[in-house]
Amino acid sequence: MTKMELLDLIERHTREILPGLDAHQFVASDRLVDLGANSVDRAEIAMLVQESLGLSVSRVELFKPKNIGELADFFLEKLDAA
Amino acid sequence: MPPELVVTGMGVISAIGQGKAEFSSAMLDGKAAFNVMRRPGRQRDSAYIGAEIREMAFPPGIASQTLRAASLSSQAALVVLQEAWVEARLSDVDPSRIGLVVGGSNIQQRELTQIHDGYRGRSAFLRPTYALSFMDSDLCGFCTAQFGIRGSAYTVGGASASGQLAIIQAAQAVLADQVDVCVALGALMDLSYWECQGLRALGAMGSDRYADDPALACRPFDCDHDGFIFGESCGAVVIESSESSRRRGIKPYAALRGWGVAMDGNRNPEPSLVGETRAIQSALGAALLPPAQIDYVNPHGTGSIVGDETELKALGACGLTDAYLNATKSLIGHGLSAAGTVEVIATLLQMQAGQLHPTRNLENPVDSTFNWVRNKSIDHPIENALTLSMGFGGINTALCWRRM
């Protein structure tokens, strides 16, 4: 899976949890919190991505990525290690 | 002298209508909406009959994000609270002096079953919001966040009497000066096929006898009744003192004159003539009303063979044989946790309209000596009304209402 595909996946699940983002153009530097995601929304988005990837990571590790680009890199690393 | 308690706002949704105007007109026309239930998670090799809410219209300004994360029970709570809130002009009340009592326990079983079934064998991917939503008190969080309530909010459970218990608890919170205004919510009980099967197995839910003609299945107080028929509903009732309502210039619907709660000391579903009589008599006693002055009774009337019979005996024992009687559940089904609240709303809307709604399928009343409203509505200005609820575990509640 490429980083672009992972970003698309994150974007798709973010739109699912935050349906008000229809007009938003996603970029790698987007922070979920700036897009209006509260802590529960962020946990939901991360879980939907894990479900799509068939990959389970610990909640604590998910605190590290600071934007969706870093989140994509984080999941790419996990996929490589798996 | 304790302050006079009044109702200043109401909101309602059921299978026959959303909002008081639509609900009241459908009710007085004797409309019903029973069918084999279709909501996902209601059937499993079964064909349970019930009355389901078809579509919900949400107030403008509710974020789609809010609705996405809201269960069916939360969505229903949102629309009825909004209706009651606007009517009672609660935006003009100090939020720290507003309380919320949610009537009902284990109300979101269908949503939970859907999640359990959906994530069986892959629990690692369970949605994190499950940790919030499995608790009924999620409704307290959801509603207080939406409406900015800062006083108190909690749930009370009393099986099928939960809706009345919430009103009683709200009244007590106002009397105790914990808050100035308290909203009682009869929460939508969202049954899954498990609860339907359990209630059927227990003999409480009606049988498949009318599977081919669902409109005939729900028949409280009729000789051919054989159990209750479920119906989704939800209601909100705003309780405050008449002095508090005057400060905002609001004309109340009615005064809550008295109430009674009596336990049978019985864990089982069987009704008790003694318990029901005690609840009615304590409500009448608190209201300082002789039974002859009650001119309308909104009974619990589920369609249970022994329940209907016991309730009529209790009314007889309390001298309430002359009051008009109909059965709201014959139109909207049994809302379980919501029933007590929604039936109070039905009562106060009838009081406002000066009309009493028909009782569907009441072809041969189990006791024809009562003053039944049968197949069409009648004109009658209610002066004093009594509303009754009973629940599994031997709980009986009664509320006494007076026109203002």
**Does the pLDDT value for residue B2 go beyond 90?**
no
**Does the pLDDT value for residue B62 go beyond 90?**
no
Q: How far is CA B71 from CA A20, B85, B115, in A?
A: 19, 20, 12
Give pLDDT, residue B340: 98
Q: What is the mean pLDDT of chain B?
A: 97
Q: Which domains does chain B have, with CATH numbers?
A: 5-247 (3.40.47.10), 256-403 (3.40.47.10)
CA B143/CA B9 separation, integer angstroms: 16
CA A18/CA A32 separation, integer angstroms: 10
Give pLDDT, residue B207: 87
Interface test with A, best of B127, B135, B138 (most A CBs within 10 A): B127
Determine how many CB atoms are found less than 10 A away from the CB of residue B86: 13
Residue with tokens 């996902």: B40
Give pLDDT, residue B66: 86
Contact B128 A47 (CB under 8 A): yes
Q: What CATH number is given for A3-81 in this structure? A: 1.10.1200.10
**Does the pLDDT value for residue B343 go beyond 90?**
yes
CA B110/CA B305 separation, integer angstroms: 27
Interface test with A, best of B65, B130, B132, B134 (most A CBs within 10 A): B65
Which amino acid belongs to residue B51? A
HSE-CB at A5 with a 13 A cutoff on CA atoms is 7
Residue with tokens 């966040």: B145
The alpha-carbon gap from B67 to the nearest alpha carbon of chain A, in Å, equals 10
Contact A20 B128 (CB under 8 A): no
**pLDDT, tens only, B237-270:** 999 999 999 999 999 999 999 999 999 999 999 9
Give pLDDT, residue A22: 84
**pLDDT, tens only, B272-299:** 999 999 999 999 999 999 999 999 999 9
Q: Where along chain A do its domains lie?
A: 3-81
Which residues share a beta bridge with B397?
B261, B389
What's the pTM?
Answer: 0.96
In the DSSP assignment, the letter for residue B205 is B
CA B336/CA B391 separation, integer angstroms: 8
In 3-state terms chain B splits into helix, strand, coil percentages (rounded to 5) of 40, 20, 40
Residue with tokens 């197995």: B201
The alpha-carbon gap from A65 to the nearest alpha carbon of chain B, in Å, equals 19
According to DSSP, the β-strands at B98-103 and B152-156 are parallel
CA B27/CA B6 separation, integer angstroms: 23
Nearest by CB: B127 against A18, A44, A56: A44
CA A66/CA A62 separation, integer angstroms: 9
Give pLDDT, residue B63: 84
Q: Is the dihedral of CA B316, B317, B323, B324 positive or negative?
A: negative
- Closest C-alpha to B403, from B208, B280, B254: B254
**Does the pLDDT value for residue B152 go beyond 90?**
yes
The alpha-carbon gap from B287 to the nearest alpha carbon of chain A, in Å, equals 48
